Structure 1
Amino acid sequence: MDFFAAQDHARRTTRLLVGWFAAAVVAIVLVVYVALALVLGLGGGDAPGAPPPSLWQPDLLLATAVVVGGFILLGSLYKIVALAGGGGAAVAEALGGRLVPRDSRDPLERRLINVVDEMAIAAGLPAPPVYILDAEQGINAFAAGARTTEGVVAVTRGTLERLSRDELQGVIAHEFSHVLNGDMRLNLRLMGVLHGILLLTLIGRILLRGARGSDKNAAPVLLMGLVLVVVGYIGVLFGKIIKAAVSRQREFLADAAAVQFTRNPVGLAGALKRIAGYGSELGHPRAEEASHMFFGSGLALSRVFATHPPIEERIRRIDPSFRPDEARAMPPPPAPEEEAADALGGLGDELSVGLAGRVALDPNELAAAVGTVRPEHVDYAQHLLATLPPGLHDAAHRPGGAQAVAFALLLSPDGETADRQLDTVRAAHGDAIATQAAELRGTVRTAGRALRLPLLDLALPALRELSDEARQAVLATVDALVRADGRVSLFEYAVQRLLQRALQPRPRLSAVLLTPHRLRQDCGLLFSMLARAGHVLETEVEAAFTHAGRFAPLDGPYPLLDRAAIRPESIDAALDRLAASTPPFRRRLVEACAAAVIWDGRVTPAEFELLRTVGEALDCPLPPLPPAAVAGPL
């Protein structure tokens, strides 16, 4: 899967969606205008000598366009803003979803969290919050969110209870494909666009209820209400067609990507076969709004309006020998306890948890790896989770422990500085969290650098369970820990940036505000930071910086900045602006960033750590380095 091509396709589809929406609004305005002209003519027909009603009334057309078009537009914008603010969590909760606690002891919920965690690590993403739709027995799932790093994954109770681990992994891999290829944001916008049209039906119903009296003017009001209801339903009808057109092909692509991710077509095919046997329908009254998001069709619709291809066709693309009677004859899945022994099937000692080596890479290869998941990444994630020290694993899945993990990552190797940092933690969060952070400090250091960012990614969902006030306290403490020794290391900056992005997300800047001059300055700042990150000699820094310029998305010249000019707040602002650029621009930017650290053809784990942070800030997630590529010790 080409991440940047998929993202660009999603942007083009969004523009098409705007065009379809505009065409629908124009059609609705014209229908309402004609109805109003007729109603007003009907109301004035009693006056003797009155002229016959005319369908051409420019003032009425303008007023209708302003009122009806403005109403639809405001309704859609309100919904889009609300969904962007609430994110995927708002969608999951609107459909009856329940947030699964990260420290859940339920075996089925634990298995689900583990599968989501391993797929997130394999994709180079923070582990997303997980929701369960407890009232739904059909087999279904969806991913929702405005950005790749801010999505949630939700599954139905039927998915949890009726699928094996391999089948569940296939479903989650399918949903992560939607996360990576830009479908989530498109789906939220589609929900918002259709909401404005749906409001006309609600107004029509209000008018119909108000016209039930015996007043002589009830007939025009009744007719107008009926027109709005009909127009609203016509809009919904076209909305279903639009959803079907947008979603169907993307489901085939997500199925193919899931098989590619897991190298296990049997898992995904098994999940689809169980849907063929059990069904995937949802009973929630708002399921229709989000039908285009689901793994399987959430509603029983005709093929014209179906948002998903026929289930048999999806199965046959994975398993050409499929016969319909197989779905009815599938045995029940094994219990989670029975699968535990096989959870690491196929893994051996050849996988190294640490990436303490030098890995040969190419800037083009690294950019091509963005947003992709290969089977070796999934194997690595499974192995990493299985070998993670139990104390770290358990702590990262509890809100209090997750705070201790984040603080432990930032404790200085210098004992005196670490003591001051722990005093800061104790004053803000209490003795228990400070003590746990001190206990985890040694474990974190022993586990190695390769575990640092994955460990933080695992802790982020538990940190998101904190109240807004507690989140702000965590960020304030992190800032104090980072500045405790009077300097900010690149790793400290990375941790602080990732935590701020997760716990205090900022609205995305508009690409309209970007100018070539501003982008060139931001790129120069980024190249300077990366060139200086892994090189000490000025000649090496200059060579790395020059190498980055050869891959840059804009022609130079780029100024090489001194270390004193590379400040955290400047980097934050630059990354926010660069994240609003187009996918083709960001592809070239990722190549240039990679070139800055691997100008000699190699990248160390520490440099990759920084690259991964930059990639995440640009909404370009980088998977972990392939363990098989480790060439030797530093």
Structure 2
Amino acid sequence: MDFFGHQDNARRQSALLLVAFIVAMFGMATLIQVFIGSIMMFFGSADSLYELSLPAKCLIGLFWAAIVIGCLFRYFDVRGGGAVLAKRFGAEPVGSGQDKRQDQRLRNVVAEMCVASRCRRPDIYVLRNEASLNAFVVGGFKDNPAMVVTQGLLDELDRDELQAVVAHEYAHVANGDVPLNMKLFIVMGGLLAVDEIGSLLMHEVWDRNAPLHHPGILVGAVFKVVGFVGVVSATLIRSGFSRQREYLADATAVQYTRNPQALASALSAIRDADIDKPLQGHYAAEIAHLCFQGGDLSAWWKKLTASHPPIQKRIKIICPTGMQKRRQKKESRSEFQAKSLNTANEVTSLFGGSAFFADSGADTNTEVDSETEFTNEASDSADNNAIIVGDGVVISHDDDVFLEPLTDRASMMMQDASSCLAVLFAVFAVDESIDRRSYLSAVSFAYNQNFTDQVKHILEVLEADLRSQPNTIIEHATSRLSGSVQEENRRRFLKNLERLLIAEKQYNLTTYVTVQLLRHKLNADFPILTKKAEDANTPAEGVAAKTFDQMGEEFALLLSLVIEGSGAPEAEIDADYRRVLRAYTIENIPRSKSSDAGVIEKLEGAFQTLLVQPRPIRQAFVEHCREIVMQDNHVTKAEIALLKIFSASLGCDVAISRGNSDETSAQAA
């Protein structure tokens, strides 16, 4: 979805409709003048439309007094702010429900979108007695909005879908729709007051059997006609304006989440549930125009006055395949989770995540259940033969990536921390692109000759094992080091290893991937930033995180490397790069190359910048990279390596299948 293009179009349409609304209000004033003047001229009480008699002026004054009084009533309704309005509708503050995990998930999702949208965190309320699937934002003229969701929304939607709905409501806040809607709400109150006064006058006089030419009936009819015309015209324009703002909010929500499928899936769920679970409260008609969806639009006249576009049309614009993907997701989820449970203790993956050091004291997310839910659901978009093992560990069960048992010879060579450390240095020495003699000399300079001799001995004894089963050896060595070596020393080892590879001019993307594997398996990655990004209570408040608008350079770098990994011709790579970059920024950022000077440092910086973003945002980006890799149904070794490092460094899950690739190493990260 080109959300920037959809946003621009929606803003243009909104501006035109807002101008039309203002013109209609001036037309309303002109209509009052012409209508009353014509009546007075008909009865001979005025000579022209501009020279009115005192009764005519008084009648016009009554019109404007009615409008002003109606506006004042609405003004006093909204001046109290979002919290007052939310409580008036019967909503309760989040946290008051029985399911604390459900409320905590809502808090976390709202906090994540607070970061993405750069808006202050609104008060959160829940309509506990509402089984419908809906949400809306209310507020006054100050920066004090309140977000209200129904209990049905919390019960029926998964985490991704809930996040998409919350992002949509945040988009209304970010786009300034809340105060604008309140102003339109006030103006409509004034117009409705004119119509209601006209009806009241006509009924009161009519009940007394007064003749048709009675002044009360005439004045009431004038009020009724003018009020009706004003209300109808204003409603049509306001409804059109509101529909454009809904399109704008949808596009902005996709910008925040980078997950159009989730929003389309949420709309599908809401559409399917709307028939059986409409809004039940007395406030239903009053807040219909504020809700995430506006109800049944089967009648043609309802479509004209609807404040929301048809849900099916919104889904088609956001993600045409959203309905099909939602059905596939439901069908595969049970089978997928069963496979995950049965194989979680049997398989491991070369480039894994926190599953390998779950007992090493690593920080964990306080929102265990909801994050586990997200992990499983995010992987549903991958092939059905994918199996998830843990955070950042997803493999394809039809590929030979099951770790072989460690040979007796290798096991005997890794009896203590020193020998395991030597084995890890030996892993890099078997690479044919590395000058082994120069490499071992550098090891001797960094450590000592005895340690170097140990590395040499391991190479002599285990070279065949290091080539045939490096995954198993790395897993065994890092597992032993994590349990016996202090974290500070593990970090020092990684720093020395990086310096050594840089000195030998061997610190390329391939060796960088292996070093990052060791970093994660040794639980020596970025704990402070990870804690800030994953903390459920204080997510990015207090963290100087970049927003999407500021991360164009980081996205451009990562996308450049992914597309380059396909090995396609330069012209095709450039075209693909420009196409995918459009989803993240409108800036024209030059494409980076893996051979550029300092690309590793830039890559590290990009990972650190993205790491403080909420996990669902990181997950959506990694999934997009997977889609880019799979678009030609051919997976290269370079693409596999990049997906591994992206998923591991960003703490996300990714699953791919072999496709038509003839690379036997095209496994899942």
Q: For this structure pair, what is the TM-score category when the shorter chain's length is used for normalisation?
A: 0.3 to 0.5
**Greater relative CO, 1 or 2 (CA 8 Å, sep 6+):** 1
Please, what TM-score do these two structures have when normalized by structure 2? Answer: 0.45
Choose 1 or 2 for highest CA Rg. Answer: 2
Please, what TM-score do these two structures have when normalized by structure 1? Answer: 0.47
